[in-house]
Amino acid sequence: MTSLRWLICLLLTLPVLADKPASVTLCFEDQENYPWILPGPSGYVITMVEMVGQRSGLHVVLVAKPWKRCLAEMQQNVVDGVVNASFVPERLEMGVYPMRDGKPDIDKRMLEITYSLYRPKEGELHWDGSRFSNLKRGIAVQYRFSIIGPLRAAGANVLELSKDAEDVLRQVQLGVADGAALLTHNGDRLLQANPELAANLEKVGPPLDRRPNFIMLSRRFVAQHPAWAQRLWDTVAVVRESAEFKQAVAPWMQKP
């Protein structure tokens, strides 16, 4: 009886083991994005991906590249996926999100992000949570960031000025744009770390946008390794809520 049970368990496991990839190459943006991606590399996202690899049994290889290239190489199957990707409908052409009932499965999210508006102190630009007022030149953003779509939907002229958040803030300080839309954790920390910027710029209004971020996988990877793709996404949910992970990232999650 014991041998029969062992054989049944083995047969049930074989389909999962058969499609296991030798490794999973995941691309992350090569710019610091506190607290998600930090030099080293380290930070919330890197720590999560490393723990996901350990718990899922997958050999995860992380590579740092410009965000635009990460997305392009996932679409071209050069890398197996990207990390820390917000849901943008247009990205469905590039790769695969964890989905449920035709929508991104927020239970499989890595994290939730918010974007905020930063403007010159005593500036005229305002955001009431649904629309802008006194918008003249436009709002500066980082290249290809997911906030671009919501800003345009709200009627804003979007200026993709740099891949670096600090450069974007300095362009606002120089008057190139009326304000900047940045990830809140990063924008707040940049003001704290740069007294010159903090003396001239401020965060205003409610958040511009709030959304979950995911690990996206290439279409080829999901087609070739469907069980392991699902295992990876399932493990993200487990790691995110684990005491071990929360303790590891606690120092980075304090407000600036």
* Helix/strand/coil (H/E/C) assignment for every residue in 167-217: HHHHHHHCCCCCEEEEEHHHHHHHHHHCHHHHHHEEEEEEEEEEEEEEEEE
| Confidence label for 15 from pLDDT (cuts 50, 70 and 90) | very low
Question: How do strand 81-86 and strand 201-217 relate by DSSP bridges?
Answer: antiparallel
Rounded (10°) angle between helices 165-173 and 184-193: 70
User: pLDDT tens, 46-62?
Assistant: 999 999 999 999 999 99
pTM score:
0.77
Q: Is 8 left (phi over 0), alpha (psi -120 to 50) or beta?
A: alpha
Burial class (CB within 10 angstroms; exposed 0-12, middle 13-18, buried 19+) of 172? buried
CA distance 151 to 142: 13
- Tokens 């080293």 locate to 40
Percentage of the chain modeled with pLDDT above 90: 83
CA distance 92 to 29: 19
More confident position, 152 or 17: 152
Residue with tokens 């392009």: 72
Per-residue confidence at 253, pLDDT binned at 50, 70, 90?
confident
Provide the token pair at 201.
Answer: 């710029």
Q: Cα separation of 256 and 252, whole Å?
A: 9
Kindly state the tokens that stand for 147: 């906030």
Q: Is 77 helix (H, G, I), strand (E, B) or coil?
A: coil
Say if residue 212 is preceded by a cis peptide, omega within 30 of 0.
Answer: no
pLDDT at 146: 86
Calculate mean pLDDT across residues 138-144.
92
End-to-end CA distance of the chain: 61
The pLDDT, as a whole number, for residue 170 is 96
* Stretch 75-94: mean pLDDT: 95
